Amino acid sequence: MTDRYAVLGNPIGHSKSPLIHSLFAQATGQDISYTAIETPLDRFNETVLGFRAGGGLGLNVSLPFKLQAFEIATEPSERARLAGAANCLKFDGERILADNFDGVGLVNDLQNNLGCLLAGKRVLLLGAGGATRGALLPIAAQRPALLAVANRTADKAHALQRDFAAHAQLNSGGFDDLAGQAFDVVINATSTGLTQEPLPLPAGVFAPGAIAYEMVYGKGLTPFLRQAQSTGVSTVADGVGMLVEQAAEAFAWWRGVRPESGPVIQRLTVPLD
Ligand code: ATR
């Protein structure tokens, strides 16, 4: 019998997850179906429980439901608990297991696909919302020399520093506090990749040889990536690899088989120009 999975979101029409998982299933010979379900904003729990009652085995959860996905879980992973958000659910009888693969997807993309090992690097995350929360622990686990969070609203970055104090040593502040500092890896985890707004980054934030990484995918050269290029950064990347790598983690968690991510990333990549 075909095992059923889906992604929930609102809106969800743009989601590449059904394509990614069907490519993984073909490549690994797994008999699954994977659909996208546009979920009414006030019906997240009913949709999850209805999908499970219909025999569904697992769900990916997209915006704006990642906090609710964490809340509905009976057994969240530690990284989901710290992020306060989950992007993946697995059903096992009455148990609802939750994990958050966004951060590990980002780290795998940086390290395995882009050749950027984080150990000993100076890493800067821009933004202090859910995307940053999900990324912090997996990045810290690689032992960067420095891990900093800068946010438009500095207080939110300070709050993150406090929340993660037992698990990761962070620097936090506003964009102004970045003056005079240079980083090897600069990751845009704000929503400006979607809104195409520029960020007020001080000159010199990119160290020589730095990589600039935009978490959003498929938007071409965003203002952040353009800004990086204009200051001489030659390695710029969007989040297509992160998207596919988090999907590979979910697939392996659900199916016990690890798909190859490279061919799927190649297929989904939109040139950055
Ligand atoms: P997500 O879950 O995608 O991280 P979020 O929790 O709404 O979304 O967080 C959005 C992030 O983008 C926040 O860090 C936000 O900064 P504030 O905390 O100051 O609101 C950041 N952001 C959104 N628009 C921005 C802009 N025009 N310039 C700088 N940062 C922006």
Shared domain for 229 and 155, answered yes or no, is: yes
Instruction: Output the CA 87–ligand 1 centroid distance in Å.
Output: 19
Q: Are 267 and 241 in contact (CB under 8 A)?
A: no
Asked if 227 and 201 count as a contact pair (C-beta separation under 8 A), the reply is: yes
All residues at 6 or more sequence positions from 14 whose CB lies less than 8 Å from its CB, including other chains: none
Same domain, 66 and 113: no
| Whether the predicted pLDDT of 203 surpasses 90 | no
What is the total count of domains within the chain?
A: 2
* Rounded distance from Cα 187 to ligand 1 centre (Å): 13
Mean pLDDT along residues 143-166 = 97
Pull the structure tokens for residue 242.
């992160």
Residue with CA closest to ligand 1 atom 6: 129
Tell which one of 124, 177, 190 to mutate to probe ligand 1, the residue whose CB is within 8 A of the most ligand atoms. Answer: 190
> Does 172 lie in the same domain as 128?
yes
Average pLDDT value over all residues in the chain: 96
Is position 219 annotated as part of the catalytic site? no
Q: Residue 129 C-alpha to ligand 1 middle, in angstroms? A: 6
- Asked if the model's pLDDT at residue 185 lies above 90, the reply is yes
Are 76 and 154 in a shared domain?
A: no
Nearest ligand 1 atom to the CA of 131 is 4
**Residue owning the nearest CA to atom 28 of ligand 1:** 199
- Cα(255)–Cα(2) distance, integer angstroms: 12
Domain boundaries, position 182: 103-240
Query: Which atom of ligand 1 is nearest to 175's Cα?
Result: 29
Ligand 1 atom closest to the Cα of residue 130 is 2
- 59 and 157 housed in the same domain: no
Looking from the CA of residue 189, the nearest atom of ligand 1 is 4
Does 262 fall in a domain? Answer: no
54, 48 contact by CB (below 8 A): no
Question: 209 phi and psi, to 5 degrees?
Answer: 80, 10
Do 132 and 86 lie in one domain? The reply is: no
In a domain, 132, yes or no: yes
Residue 252 in any domain: the answer is no
pLDDT at 169: 93
CATH code at position 150: 3.40.50.720
Task: Give the model's pLDDT for residue 244.
Answer: 98
Task: Give 1's pLDDT tier (boundaries 50, 70, 90).
Answer: confident
Q: pTM here?
A: 0.96
The enclosing domain of 96 has a CATH number of 3.40.50.10860
Q: What is the pLDDT, as a whole number, of residue 239? A: 97
* Distance between CA atoms of residues 193 and 198, nearest Å: 9
Cβ atoms 211, 272 nearer than 8 A:
no
Q: Does residue 248 lie in a domain region?
A: no
Q: For residue 8, tell me if it sits in a domain.
A: yes
**Distance separating alpha carbons of residues 207 and 165, to the nearest angstrom:** 26
Q: Which of 100, 119, 143 is the last residue of a domain?
A: 100
Average pLDDT score over residue span 136-160: 97
**Cα–Cα distance, 207 to 28 (Å, whole number):** 41
Q: Report, as an integer, the average pLDDT of 222-227.
A: 97
Q: What is the residue with the minimal CA distance to atom 16 of ligand 1? A: 152
b/e per residue, 2-23, with b = 16+ CB within 10 A?
Answer: ebbbbbbbbebeebbbbebbeb
| Residue bearing the CA closest to ligand 1, atom 7 | 129
Mean pLDDT to the nearest integer, 2-10: 97
pLDDT at 273 over 90: no
DSSP-based three-state secondary structure for 184: strand
User: Are residue 107 and residue 84 in the same domain, yes or no?
Assistant: no
CA dist., res. 150 & res. 137, Å (int): 16
pLDDT band at 5 (very low <50, low <70, confident <90, very high): very high
Mean pLDDT, residues 178-200: 96
Q: In angstroms, what CA-CA distances link 129 with 57, 133, 137, 191, 265?
A: 29, 6, 14, 9, 26
